[in-house]
């Protein structure tokens, strides 16, 4: 059947252009780094870049879970509130049950709430936007009740020393972020669960017809997302030594922005941890660079809003060209 040879492939771009088009965020990140390096002498120093990485880690860990959920074609708005709850439990319970059991309970609370989100989405058929919007409000309420509206202080200050572990300029927090990102990239690219994430987000009917258990699959990803939010909360509580009831407020939005900026598709089916790391770092570099230049806070927000829209516009133009 040599006749099939005359059927040609669509699109004629070389693999290098294609690679760049699909990872445009890294080009964008390189550009911002060049700009800030020339604008501020303090930017391109080992210390500052280490700081950027640490600052990026919290949103970054949230973004890892969000990427999983988003490739599935869903969204999780409750990650900021879960982060706050885990951080409050990890600190608040220390006096009663000890440091590590408290941390473990904090972690479990995140996983359990993620499981609840996933179960509600998968079994009720409600849109995850609604379910996790409920989570966003309800869990935050829970945090206020638990903390009594005040910041909880850590009793044993050895707890706050863990984030002071550094490997050269890289903090433990940053290392955990990078390790988790690499691990979940491997999950996405090399495990059955990871590949199914793409199949479900891309063409849910095809996935269903192929016998993929969509409900179980989505519950797992929401649980992972909740657990990762709890890890971010615990790391934050270690770094600050306090748990504020308002911790992580609107972080779910920054997380979504980072993921989308990276190039992961809001409708699902497309994305990767590489892209998400790129998006997270771009946000962190922008924020850090603008602060080094003493930009007022509201100008910073304006610049970041503009950058987000611009980056997505570029993404749209590139994907049109690719098609």
* 216 counts as binding another protein under rule CB under 8 A: no
CB of 259 to another protein, least distance (A): 16
Render 195-262 in DSSP notation, one character per residue: HHHHHHHH-HHHHHHTT--HHHHHHHHHHHHHHHHHHHHHHHHHHHSEE-TTTTTTHHHHHHHHHHHH
Pick the stretch among 8-16, 85-93, 171-179, 253-261 that binds another protein (CB under 8 A): 8-16
Pick the stretch among 96-104, 191-199, 280-288, 298-306 that binds another protein (CB under 8 A): 191-199
Token pair 């308002």 is found at: 246
CB within 8 A of 290, min separation 6: which ones? 299, 300, 303, 304
Q: How far is Cα 118 from Cα 218, in angstroms, rounded to an integer? A: 6
| Binding test (CB under 8 A) with another protein, winner from 179, 206, 253, 310 | 206
CB of 83 to another protein, least distance (A): 28
Per-position x/- string for 268-307, each x denoting binding to another protein as judged by CB under 8 A, each - no binding = -xx-------------------------------------
CB of 315 to another protein, least distance (A): 15
Residue (7 or 250) nearer to another protein, CB = 7
* 70 counts as binding another protein under rule CB under 8 A: no
CB 292 within 8 A of CB 35: no
Residue (58 or 198) nearer to another protein, CB = 198
Residue (74 or 244) nearer to another protein, CB = 74
* 190 counts as binding another protein under rule CB under 8 A: yes
* 6 counts as binding another protein under rule CB under 8 A: yes
229's tokens: 């939010």
Q: How far is Cα 247 from Cα 255, in angstroms, rounded to an integer? A: 14
Residue (168 or 211) nearer to another protein, CB = 211
Q: How far is Cα 227 from Cα 79, in angstroms, rounded to an integer? A: 9
* 192 counts as binding another protein under rule CB under 8 A: yes
User: Hey, which residues between 130 and 189 contact another protein (CB under 8 A)?
Assistant: none
Size of the site for another protein (CB under 8 A): 30
* 250 counts as binding another protein under rule CB under 8 A: no
Q: How far is Cα 130 from Cα 226, in angstroms, rounded to an integer? A: 16
Instruction: Report the phi/psi class of residue 9: left, alpha or beta, with left for phi > 0 and alpha for psi in -120 to 50.
Output: beta
| Binding test (CB under 8 A) with another protein, winner from 193, 242, 246, 292 | 193
* 266 counts as binding another protein under rule CB under 8 A: no
Positive or negative torsion for Cα 70, 76, 81, 86:
negative
Positive or negative torsion for Cα 145, 63, 225, 111:
negative
Q: 57-80 burial by CB neighbour count: b if 16+ within 10 A, else e?
A: bbbbbbbbbbbbbbbbbbbbbbbb
Partners of residue 170 on adjacent β-strands: 167
Q: How far is Cα 53 from Cα 33, in angstroms, rounded to an integer? A: 13
CB 310 within 8 A of CB 294: no
| Binding test (CB under 8 A) with another protein, winner from 41, 125, 157, 209 | 209
CB of 70 to another protein, least distance (A): 13
* 5 counts as binding another protein under rule CB under 8 A: yes
User: Hey, which residues between 89 and 118 contact another protein (CB under 8 A)?
Assistant: none
| Binding test (CB under 8 A) with another protein, winner from 208, 215, 291, 316 | 208
* 19 counts as binding another protein under rule CB under 8 A: no
In the complex, the residues that contact another protein under the rule CB under 8 A are: 1-11, 190-193, 195, 198-199, 202-203, 205-212, 269-270
């Amino acid at each position: 059947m040599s006749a099939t040879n005359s059927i040609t492939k669509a699109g004629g771009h070389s693999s290098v252009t294609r690679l760049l088009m699909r990872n445009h965020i890294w080009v964008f990140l390189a550009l911002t780094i060049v700009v800030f390096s020339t604008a501020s002498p303090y930017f391109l120093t080992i210390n500052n870049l280490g700081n950027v990485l640490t600052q990026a880690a919290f949103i970054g860990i949230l973004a890892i879970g969000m990427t999983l959920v988003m490739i599935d074609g869903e969204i999780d708005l409750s990650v900021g509130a879960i982060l706050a709850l885990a951080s409050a439990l990890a600190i608040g319970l220390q006096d009663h049950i000890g440091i590590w059991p408290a941390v473990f309970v904090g972690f479990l609370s995140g996983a359990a709430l993620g499981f609840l989100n996933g179960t509600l989405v998968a079994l009720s058929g409600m849109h995850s936007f609604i379910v996790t919007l409920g989570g966003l409000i309800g869990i935050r309420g829970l945090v206020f009740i638990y903390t009594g509206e005040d910041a909880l202080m850590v009793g044993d200050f050895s707890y706050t020393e863990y984030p002071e572990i550094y490997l050269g300029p890289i903090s433990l927090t940053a290392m955990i972020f990078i390790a988790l990102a690499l691990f979940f990239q491997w999950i996405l690219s090399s495990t059955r669960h990871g590949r199914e994430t793409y199949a479900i987000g891309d063409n849910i009917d095809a996935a269903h017809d192929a016998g993929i258990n969509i409900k179980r699959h989505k519950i797992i990803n929401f649980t992972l997302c909740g657990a990762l939010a709890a890890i971010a909360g615990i790391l934050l509580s270690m770094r600050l030594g306090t748990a504020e009831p308002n911790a992580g407020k609107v972080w779910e939005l920054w997380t979504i922005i980072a993921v989308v900026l990276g190039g992961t598709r809001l409708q699902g089916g497309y994305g990767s941890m590489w892209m998400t790391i790129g998006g997270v770092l771009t946000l962190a570099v922008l924020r850090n660079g603008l602060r080094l230049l003493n930009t007022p806070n509201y100008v910073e927000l304006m610049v970041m809003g503009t950058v987000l829209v611009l980056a997505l516009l570029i993404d749209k133009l590139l994907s049109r060209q690719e098609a």
